Structure 1
Amino acid sequence: MIAFGIVIAVLLIVAVVLIAMYNGMVRGRNLAEEAWSGIDVQLKRRHDLIPNLVSTVQGYAAHEQDVLKAVAEARSASIKASTVQGVAQAESMLGSALGRLFAVAEAYPELKADGNFRQLQDTLTSLESEIQMARRFYNGTARDQNNRTMQFPGNIVAGMFGFQKLDYFELDDASERAVPEVKFGK
């Protein structure tokens, strides 16, 4: 009778631990989905801003069609991307295209002085900071969830219930990872 009671107690403890682990993984997955939603909202704001920015630049630099077309194509690819890696790749391309757009703007003093352009540029800069914060939050929740699903005994529970490793939202462009060179000169 005592042995039967011990077996029941052990089974109850194992069941409680498994339930707690499963609930932790569900909570982690939901938190990661919420964090991804935050990135998605910021990227949508960025995508909505880009046509206004392109229109403003186009008014001053109409003959820079290659750059304007590259921005439009990168924006379209970014909107269509659906996986974390696909979005990261598309956003990296969009960031490069926007960099070329701002390089073109540097050649047009009237454009740089335009109040609408400066406001759009400031808004985009602010959005980039918000995207970076949202990306850090998402990557932190993905890391925590990956730890839960990959460490023993969580990996057993994760395997039983189909929890997968989450991808990080990382930059693909090596130039964006590089430390900028600072020169002090005369």
Structure 2
Amino acid sequence: MLTYIIIGIIILIVVIFAIWIVAMYNNLVGLRNRVKNAWSQIDVQLNRRADLIPNLVETVKGYAKHEKGVFEEVTKARSGLMNAQTVQESAEANNMLTGALKSLFAVAENYPDLKANQNFRDLQSQLAETEDKIAYSRQFYNDTVLMYNNKIQMFPSNLIARQFNFTESEFFEVEESARSVPKVEF
């Protein structure tokens, strides 16, 4: 009778341990998928911004024909963003495009007729809205990566993560030059 109780306790412990492993594994899979989903949301917004840029460039070109270098820089940066494959490449291309767009809007400041153009204002508004969505998506992505990476690194879930080859995800980081305070002169 005592052996049946001991065997029952051992089986119960094994079953509880198996359930714990399955639950931990499923939690890690869920977090990994949330990271992928969060990244795809950033990607959607980056593509939306990239799709708006040719229209913006064409609108500005009509007014500022001699600003060829700025247009080439924006086009090159947009191409880099569209061809980025990794989180790091996307972050670098995004920073490059942000700088190029700043130059484009600086050019627009020199053309009052352009600033008054409804098409330009609409595109500028859509771009600003998209920038806000990108910022939100980046924050959500980085928060999700933080939760996922914590789960992978913390005991006891790190044992399951290591066993099933879960790897850390990269954060979407802003380049150091993008963090600097812009110089404003009057």
- Shorter-chain TM-score above 0.5: yes
Q: Please, which runs of 5 or more residues in structure 2 have no aligned partner?
A: none
**What corresponds to 2:180 in structure 1?**
178
**Can you list the C-alpha shifts for 1:49-88, whole angstroms capped at 9, x where unaligned?**
0000010111111111111000000000000001111101
- 1:77 equivalenced with 2:80 (yes/no): yes
The aligned amino acid for 2:54 is P
In structure 2, the CA distance between the partners of 1:17 and 1:58, relative to structure 1 (3 Å rule), is same
The aligned amino acid for 1:176 is A
How far has the Cα of 1:3 moved from its partner? 3.3
How far has the Cα of 1:179 moved from its partner? 4.8
CA distance in 2, matches of 1:148, 1:117: 46
| Counterpart secondary structure, 1:32 | helix
**Can you list the C-alpha shifts for 1:152-172, whole angstroms capped at 9, x where unaligned?**
111111111111101111111
Aligned-residue CA RMSD in angstroms?
1.8
The aligned amino acid for 2:65 is A
CA distance in 1, matches of 2:183, 2:72: 30
Q: Please, which runs of 5 or more residues in structure 1 have no aligned partner?
A: none
TM-score by length of structure 2 reads 0.92
Aligned pairs for 1:34-183 within 5 A? 34-172=37-175, 174-179=176-181
| Counterpart secondary structure, 2:62 | helix
Paired residues, number? 183
